Structure 1
Amino acid sequence: MFAAPATPSIRKVTAQLTPAYRRMIEASPFFALATSGPRGLDCSPRGDAAGFVRIADESTLLLPERRGNNRIDSLRNLVSDPRAALMFLIPGLSEILRINGHAFLSRNRELCDSFQVNGSAPKIVIVFQIDAVMFQCARAIVRSRLWDQALHRTPGELPTAGSMLADATAGEEGGSAYDAALPERIRTTLY
């Protein structure tokens, strides 16, 4: 049904960071973290200024667990199943960096404090051990035209956070009051 993979698609996989893969991580302001656990799968976004993921060595990444919605689905999963995957995106670049490995959580105060931003340190740092790293070819990004600004949506074209929450809770929460308060809540709780 499928042809054999092209030789470069196999040879691009390494067990540790190459200089080029390292530069991709250092330039990325965003990645998705995929985990698996007793409650099922989770894929969560992570973002900050480019370089927020620290490279401890060619096989180890340090991922600060920034403030979020406190669901901690990924963290719960990692406690029971250390397998994880990362997908790094860089605005304007069509290639994606994929990393498979396993991770554990560190509450080491000195390590957490080293990721402090605006006086706020993460409570947890995810220590990610690389098993395989590779770049993903540009086809998905090119097909989706993800970085094409002519396709970017404007506020009001799609549901707001408040309207999605209202739909999900049968109107018990969310709505315009939620949307009105959201920018200030994000501003004051970003870190």
Structure 2
Amino acid sequence: MSRHEIFTNLVSSEEELREMLGSPGKLAAHKTIRFLDEHCRNFIAKSPFLVIATADAGGSCDASPRGDAPGFVHVVDEKHLVIPERQGNRKFDSLLNILANPNVGLFFMIPGLGETLRINGRGYVIKDNGMLEGMTVQGKTPLVGIGIEVEECYIHCAKAIKRSELWQPSTWLTQMQLPSIPHMLAAHIQIPDEVITPEDVEKSLEESYTKRLY
């Protein structure tokens, strides 16, 4: 079944979209800069979390989180920054995409702040020891990092954060209300001739979080 059998009333051009929703205001249309100024550097230095968006050679997209202590992203100069590649699941979705298609988008967040920082540019998988040694944590130096050549920087307004009440603890679910990740993963993992239980997943996650965080 193709998507057009489900989504039958589509917007098909920018002209149609603009006619329905309008054009950006003066401030929004002129807020993009092409380099990391002191304000962007300060934002990055205080951010413990980002999402990196990548796509492979065919255009299939991926968005992946990166997080660590505030300042974990190293600003090299006004046009370049480096994200350390910590231990993960070894699928390397972002890295493999960058090797095939260097176009990337970054989305930096600071807890408690509604506005976010967006950066677009070109990504590189780097193994520069001089840069990566400065990102050592708990005695572990990342073997590779993601180098970003900055092309666009701009602040994204807080409307989405305000509408979602993301930073309002009073809106957060209780522990009992949260989705059970072990049950979700056990249902998703398909290994021939092997049954994976929620208990198996919970044990694996706990070991990963306690022994392989860096």
Q: TM-score range by the shorter chain?
A: over 0.9
Structure 2 Cα separation of the partners of residues 77 and 93 of structure 1: 30
Match of 1:114, SS state, is: helix
| Cα shift readout 1:88-132 (whole Å, capped 9, x = no counterpart) | 011000001000000111112332222110011111111101100
Report the CA distance between 1:155 and its aligned residue.
2.4
- State yes or no: 1:178 paired with 2:178: no
Checking the alignment, whether the CA contact within 8 Å between 2:48 and 2:109 is kept in structure 1 is: yes
- State yes or no: 1:48 paired with 2:71: no
Match of 2:24, SS state, is: coil
Partner of 2:91: 71
Candidates 119, 133, 138, aligned match of 1:118 = 138
Partner of 1:134: 154
- State yes or no: 1:150 paired with 2:170: yes
- State yes or no: 1:89 paired with 2:112: no
Structure 1 Cα separation of the partners of residues 45 and 74 of structure 2: 8
- For the pair shown, the structure with the greater C-alpha radius of gyration is 2
Checking the alignment, whether the CA contact within 8 Å between 2:186 and 2:201 is kept in structure 1 is: no
Cα RMSD (Å): 1.6
Checking the alignment, whether the CA contact within 8 Å between 1:105 and 1:126 is kept in structure 2 is: yes
Report the CA distance between 1:165 and its aligned residue.
1.1
Unaligned runs of 5+ in 2: 1-19
| Cα shift readout 1:29-81 (whole Å, capped 9, x = no counterpart) | 00000001046111000000000001100111111011111110000000011
Partner of 2:182: 162
With normalisation by structure 1, the TM-score equals: 0.94
More strand by share: 1
What letter matches 1:20 in structure 2?
H
Report the CA distance between 1:174 and its aligned residue.
4.1
With normalisation by structure 2, the TM-score equals: 0.84
Partner of 1:21: 40
Identical-residue share of aligned pairs (%): 36
* Range moving further from structure 2, 109-118 or 14-23: 109-118
Partner of 2:49: 30
How many pairs were matched up? 191
Distance 1:100 1:184, change over 3 A: same
The 5-angstrom pairing of residues 56-67 of structure 1 reads 56-67=76-87
Unaligned runs of 5+ in 1: none
